[in-house]
Chains A and B, each alone.
Chain A
Amino acid sequence: MSLQPFKSIGIGAAFSPNLKANLYEAARLSLFLKSKLFLIHVGEVSDDKIKMLNFFLKPFEKDNLDYEVVYKPGRPVDVILSTTEEKNIDLLILGAVQRERFLKYYVGSIARKITRKAKCSVLLLIKPSVERVLCEHIVVNGLKDPKTEQTIKTAFYVGKQLKSKKITIVEEIKQDQVSVKVDDDKSLRKANIIKERIRLRENSRIKDIIEHIPEKYTKDVVTKLQPIFGKQGYSIGHYAQISRADLLVMNAPSKMTFWDRLFPHDIEHILTELPTDVLILQ
């Protein structure tokens, strides 16, 4: 496992009311993760813009923040994606939109396109703030998937860097793994026995993964395992919301087709209903 999975962090810098908060979040994260920050601006260079960005990032200079601003005109989605590839960016930060009147967040259309196409990890922020909000509780998926091991390791790494106190690994178990349908008392008992077995099996699988993580990442943090029988990708978001997690770490989906969007599953559920900040790992 590489000790520093994120060498470079990218963020789109559009001149919106959220700019300051977005920059602060990105800069702080770059410092925590010891990575280089790339500000990607869709548009031409101008003195005003340079001045403004410099002004916003001034407070971080004393901490030796390493950053670079990229100016590139074009369509936002293309610009950001191409810059990510050119600059070898490992982690892209995107902001979410709040649905008016409700305390619900979703990913806007541009950010959504980027999320689907990006080849690097993506961090979706629901409410960037100028002041630091502690990231106390991280929820990470424990799906049975080849990517999961890396995801959990990265989650522990991020947790260590952000000084999180608690990491919950949620194992989503598909309903159809429980082969018995509940009809009466007898089948209910059977189903519960099967569920208990699956639960134990999943827990031992995750525990095995955790044991392979260097101890310095796991010792200061409370680790909890939570098996859930439910819809993959959706129930973990629901759980993160209930348990008031500050960050949700997920595997990137294997591939996306048109049908996946029409009948949303996995990550698409999360994109329409952001429960909290979400980190999607490639």
Chain B
Amino acid sequence: MSPKKNKIKDFLSALPKNIFSGFVVSLIALPLGLGLAMASEAPPIAGIISAIVGGIVVFIFGGSYVTIAGPGNGLVGVLLIAITALGLESAYAAIICSGILILLLGFFRMGKLADFFPSSAIQGMLAAIGLIILGKQFHIMLAHKIKCEDTLDYLFEIPFTINHALNYQNKGLIFATLAGILSLAIMLFYSKIRNKYLQLIPAPMWIVILSIGFSYYFELVAHEANPIAKEYMISGIPSIQTIIADMHLPNFSSIGSFSFWSSVLAITLIASIESLLSIKAVDKLDPEKRRSNVNKDLKALGLATIGSGFLGGLNVVAVIARSSVNVNNGASNRSSNFFHAVFLVLFIVLFTTQLTRIPLPALMAILVYTGYKLASPNLIKKIFSIGKEQFIIFFVTLLVTLKIGLITGILAGVIVTLIIHIVINKTVSLFFRNVMKPNVLMYQEEGQDNYYVSVKHFCSFLNYYKLKDKLDAVPEDKDIIVDFSMCGFVDHTVMENMHDYQELFKKRDGHFDVIGLDMHDTDSEHPFALRRLLPVPNIIKNNLTRRQTSMEDLAKDYHLNYNSKKLRHVYFLNHFLFFNTKTINYIYNQLSYENSILNLFDIEFSEGEFIAKEVIRSTMLHIKLDHTIPEFTLDREGFLEKVYAFAGFKDIPIQNHSDFSNRFYLLGDNEEAITAFFNDDLVHFFESNPYYHVESNGESLLIFGKQRLASIKEIKALFDFGKRLKEVIEHE
């Protein structure tokens, strides 16, 4: 068979999965699109239009694989300013111009644009955008529309609004406020509840479903009017006919004004940065380990933005939360992006009237949560732990962005970073003398397969793109060594990126080692802290929790080795299917037995990104086997698996063991070898023991129960299960 035909076959066989994930994504995209558009004071439908145009255009022209395009969170701030300053009609013209600029960025291969900004400054800018969203929508969430001059004033007004909301007399307002608070609670606690059936529908859609159900309850069962005040319901969702009929041409009359072009620049900057960051983050989640063509994607996004602007939609950017949901639901190519657009069209055509039953506060609660996530205290804590200087950069960018504007804000961040770098190193000449030099050398030694990269002078956001250029030219399944020993200064932006590369290489069977930083000084113990060449003493912390001390005791009883330290390099877990779309943060509290043949540990990993991000801690057991077995995944059978099966995942039946086949869900590529491997002994073992998720990567097994930390008793049970399973398998 020719490779081309194969491709079509692969595409078709992956289609059900992609339709399924496109559907799940559209469930989030619908409320988010409405909300984001309303937060930017555009008509709610504008958000949906941009998602639809984005989905279709990026599907055709895009260069990434599993990213979803649509209206972005980061753009709310700039679009809001553009729309209030220019008016809606001219704002559409600005959106179209920014689309042209993004298209040009793609043509000029400026996909590296996002690398020129220090990462703390970008964080600060995003946090500022989060606060702008949060500040503005918080009041609407509590059914208290106000108008302020300054973005900061909105934030200062929050306590008054809360006080105001507590004293509502109007029943309509009370119900509106309740809808908002309830929705916020759903957003907050959704990720804490790990129930498979609940998780099938994303939190924003739950809000939509519940509020529509609530409205129908009053109409059909209680025969009353909806108690939520009329002015706090979504208005102006036109039917599809009126959308087409009402299409107004953008107004290019203010094209000569300064404020027009400053808006265009701000929109372009934020749109491209948000897209680039999202693409980079989503590439790490791609189970098929492909590399996105950033410049091609930029072109597609630019084109989509132009189209969306003409149709009355907002900017189209690559978005991270929706993309991560996409990946988690089994998407494998761009068609899921297309199907998400198709489902959105269906929603708009079929459910226009239902959508007007959503209360505004409920929708705004989603945005408040988004804003909160962008500027969450955890994020600030993390930045502070990296170093005080990062916190200063972050805070200056945040304040200037809130007070003056986005472009001034990010520029301030860049300047402050530069000043801080100069102060820390007590030298200006290190930077100015060397900034233009090609300070990165990469070569492959003759006859050897690995790459060696040496960096000279300094490496910071100013010249990181040179290092990135070299590193990007290496396939991720190769070995690469980055040597900073001749580099006097390495900043946080670079350290963070090195970590990202390490993750990427780890996932794709390569090795990415950073060496030569032993002589460098840091202010904090965080792995991303900036480093300066100087000797440094090491301080080791040691205080254990109660669970850790009991694990220590357990280790003594059972003659195990106990190690409480966080271990970030966990190569042995990379080949498990389970971690394909998840990021392992670290493992800790290791209990190992006999040269770590049996290795039990607590693990922290995360699933999804941004508002769809869930950090999960669990206890797992890893068993090294003395011979190879087929790769498989085994879990208990349930309703969800039936849904997945419908979407194209296959369950392997074991002959003569219908009980086992009914109760367990068995997955794997090599069906023959797996059916041969699951003999009577093994099947009986699984049938007569408690349920665990068991996964084989060919050479070792990964076993875990619930997706939370195990108690000491559960640890013992898990250990015992693993030991006996190993015996059964190796007995064959």
Contact = CB atoms under 8 A, between A and B. Distances in A.
A226 B443 contact: yes
Nearest to B454: A242
Given A181-B109, A188-B475, A235-B441, A241 B486 contact: yes
Interface in A163-194: 181-185, 187-189, 191-192
Interface string B465-477: 0000000110100
B311 interface: no
A226 B446 CA distance: 6
B437 to A, nearest CB: 7
A34 interface: no
Contacts of B294: 183
Contacts of B473: 182, 188, 191-192, 229
Given A191-B473, A225-B446, A230 B438 contact: yes
Given A182-B472, A184-B63, A184-B292, A238 B456 contact: yes
B442 A184 contact: no
B139 interface: no
A191 B475 CA distance: 11
A189 B475 CA distance: 8
Interface in B272-308: 290-296
B467 to A, nearest CB: 12
Interface in B404-446: 437-443, 445-446
A235 B452 CA distance: 13
B343 to A, nearest CB: 28
A87 interface: no
Nearest to B429: A99
A234 B437 contact: yes
Contacts of A185: 290-291, 475
Given A225-B446, A226-B446, A228-B441, A184 B290 contact: yes
B423 to A, nearest CB: 18
B59 to A, nearest CB: 16
A181 B438 CA distance: 19
B442 A230 contact: yes
Most buried by B among A184, A191, A224: A184
Contacts of A235: 438, 441
A192 B438 CA distance: 21
Contacts of B437: 234, 269, 273
Nearest to B441: A238
A241 B296 CA distance: 39
B297 to A, nearest CB: 10
A27 B439 CA distance: 36
A15 B334 CA distance: 74
B441 A239 contact: yes
B291 A184 contact: yes
A182 B109 CA distance: 11
A21 to B, nearest CB: 26
A173 B438 CA distance: 14
Contacts of A191: 473
Interface residues of B, number: 26
A47 B143 CA distance: 101
Nearest to A184: B293
A238 B454 contact: yes
Contacts of A182: 472-473
A49 interface: no
A227 B295 contact: no
A269 B441 CA distance: 14
Nearest to A225: B446
A184 to B, nearest CB: 4
A183 B442 CA distance: 19
Contacts of B295: 183
Interface string A42-76: 00000000000000000000000000000000000
A227 B442 CA distance: 10
Interface in A204-250: 224-231, 234-235, 238-239, 241-242
Given A184-B292, A235-B438, A228 B443 contact: yes
A239 B443 CA distance: 9
Contacts of B63: 183-184
Contacts of B454: 238, 242
A44 to B, nearest CB: 39
A227 B443 contact: yes
Nearest to A170: B443
A153 B417 CA distance: 50
B293 A183 contact: yes
B458 to A, nearest CB: 12
A198 to B, nearest CB: 12
Nearest to B430: A102
A261 to B, nearest CB: 13
A192 B449 CA distance: 12
Nearest to A101: B427
B432 to A, nearest CB: 13
A233 to B, nearest CB: 10
A175 to B, nearest CB: 9
Contacts of B290: 184-185
Contacts of A188: 291, 472-473, 475
Nearest to B452: A242
Contact of B441 (A184, A192, A225, A242): A242
Most buried by A among B63, B296, B439, B456: B456
A195 to B, nearest CB: 8
Contacts of B291: 184-185, 188
A187 B446 CA distance: 23
Given A183-B63, A192-B475, A226 B445 contact: yes
A145 B454 CA distance: 26
A90 to B, nearest CB: 32
Given A184-B296, A234-B438, 8 more contacts: A181-B109, A183-B63, A192-B473, A192-B475, A235-B441, A242-B441, A242-B486, A269-B437
Interface of B: 63, 109, 290-296, 437-443, 445-446, 452, 454, 456, 472-473, 475, 483, 486
12 contacts: A182-B472, A184-B291, A188-B291, A226-B445, A230-B440, A238-B456, A241-B486, A242-B452, A242-B454, A242-B486, A269-B437, A273-B437
Closest 5 pairs between A and B when the two form their complex, measured CB to CB: A231-B438, A184-B293, A238-B441, A183-B293, A228-B443
